[in-house]
Amino acid sequence: MLILLPPSEGKLAPRRGMPLDDATLSFPLLTDARKAVREALIELCAQDPTRAAKVLDLSPNQRDLVALNSRIDAAPTARADRVYSGVLYDALDFGTLSPAAKRRAATRVAVTSSLFGLVRPGDRIPAYRLSGDAVLPGLGPVAGVWRAALGDAVVEALGPGLLVDLRSSMYAAFWRPPAELGGQVATVRVLHEADGRRQVVSHFNKATKGRLVRDLLEDGRDPRTPAKLAAVLADLGWTVEVDEPARKGTRVDVVVSDV
């Protein structure tokens, strides 16, 4: 099983640690694309901070993030599961997983990243600011870089297992499963039900995804089809509905009434 998560917009900047080393990161097939994105971002932020703030859609009180990006190569790093923060990651709470669940997370979870493409929880990365819809001078849309690069890395990591896609729409645009993988893909959507109506609500969506991944890692089962994933989630107490299989995967809806 490969669980794809979105990144967090906010990140905790490490105070100490070795600088970034591409050779230590998972998914080595992405090394060249990582360097291209990083070099374009550093050049923009170091040479033209005012333009960088506009490209990165930063407010005047966020200019420190431009400086942060300009120092990415020399900045201290920490495990990705400590750098990424926010509602989803607070609910998942990597640090309090059981030892067995932490071992599963190391091989079953990957975070989609505008700067790195994909990272594992244990990969050491610096804090950075780069949205998935950014367009970098001299490089173009970040999403376009990853659309050209991610496919082989995902397929290699997935093998014959099930892809559990929890990415937000922005990061789903980095790579979309081809039809030949359709039977191995479960795209999970969280719906908030209140007063007989269902809708996607950001906070419920993120918190529920974090708890759902935590439950899967603690449970330990390794479902190989979307239907089996739904059955595991139902066993764990979630309300789940499964759509008919489609060419590029099966949608699995998790319905919640509170966060």
Q: What is the pLDDT of residues 207-222, one digit of tens each?
A: 999 999 999 999 999 9
Task: Give backbone dihedrals phi and psi of 187, rounded to 5 degrees, phi first.
Answer: -95, 115
Number of domains present in the structure of the chain: 1
Query: Contact at 8 Å (CB) between 43 and 35?
Result: no
Tell me what the mean pLDDT of segment 15-20 comes to: 95
The tens digit of pLDDT for each residue in 166-197 reads: 999 999 999 999 999 999 999 999 998 777 77
Three-state secondary structure call for residue 223: coil
pLDDT for res 240: 96
The residues pairing with 124 across neighbouring beta strands, listed in sequence order, are: 79
Query: Residue 99: which H helix or E strand, with range?
Result: helix 99-108
Residues 6+ apart with CB under 8 A from 125: 20, 25, 77, 78, 80, 83, 113, 115, 116, 119
CA-based radius of gyration for the chain: 18
Residue 172 CA from chain centroid, whole number: 9
Asked if pLDDT for residue 70 goes beyond 80, the answer is yes
The tokens describing 191, both together, are: 């719906």
Higher-confidence position of 194 and 70: 70
Residue spans of alpha helices (H) in 64-98? 64-70, 80-83, 87-92
User: What was the pLDDT predicted at 158?
Assistant: 96
For the cut 80, the answer to whether the pLDDT of residue 204 exceeds it is: no
Per-residue pLDDT, 205:
87
Q: In angstroms, what CA-CA distances link 198 with 168, 187, 190, 193, 257?
A: 18, 18, 10, 4, 9
Q: Which domain holds residue 34?
A: 2-256
Backbone angles phi, psi at 139, to 5 degrees: -120, -40
The CA–CA distances, whole Å, from 231 to 60, 151, 225, 237, 242 equal 48, 28, 10, 10, 10
Asked if residue 68 has pLDDT above 90, the reply is yes
Quick one: pLDDT at residue 63?
Answer: 86
Predicted confidence (pLDDT) per residue in 150-167, tens digit: 999 999 999 999 999 999
Q: Which helix (H) or strand (E) holds 120?
A: none
Q: How far apart are CA 213 and CA 244, in angstroms?
A: 23
Let me know: does 174 contact 33? Beta carbons within 8 Å: no
Choose among 234, 180, 236, 41: nearest CA to 252: 234
Q: Are 33 and 151 in contact (CB under 8 A)?
A: no
Residue 145 corresponds to which amino acid?
Answer: V
The pLDDT value given to residue 16: 93
User: Is 0.75 topped by the overall pTM?
Assistant: yes
* Cα 115 from Cα 129, distance rounded (Å): 9
**pLDDT > 90? residue 10:** no
Reported as type and span, the H/E element at residue 180 is none
Mean pLDDT of the residues in the chain: 94
What percentage of the chain exceeds 90 in pLDDT?
89
Is-contact 63 49, C-beta < 8 A?
Answer: yes
> What does the pLDDT average to over 87-113?
97
Give the pLDDT confidence score for residue 172 in this predicted structure. 95
Q: What is the pLDDT of residue 259?
A: 59
How many residues in total does the chain contain? 259
58 pLDDT band, cuts 50/70/90, is very high
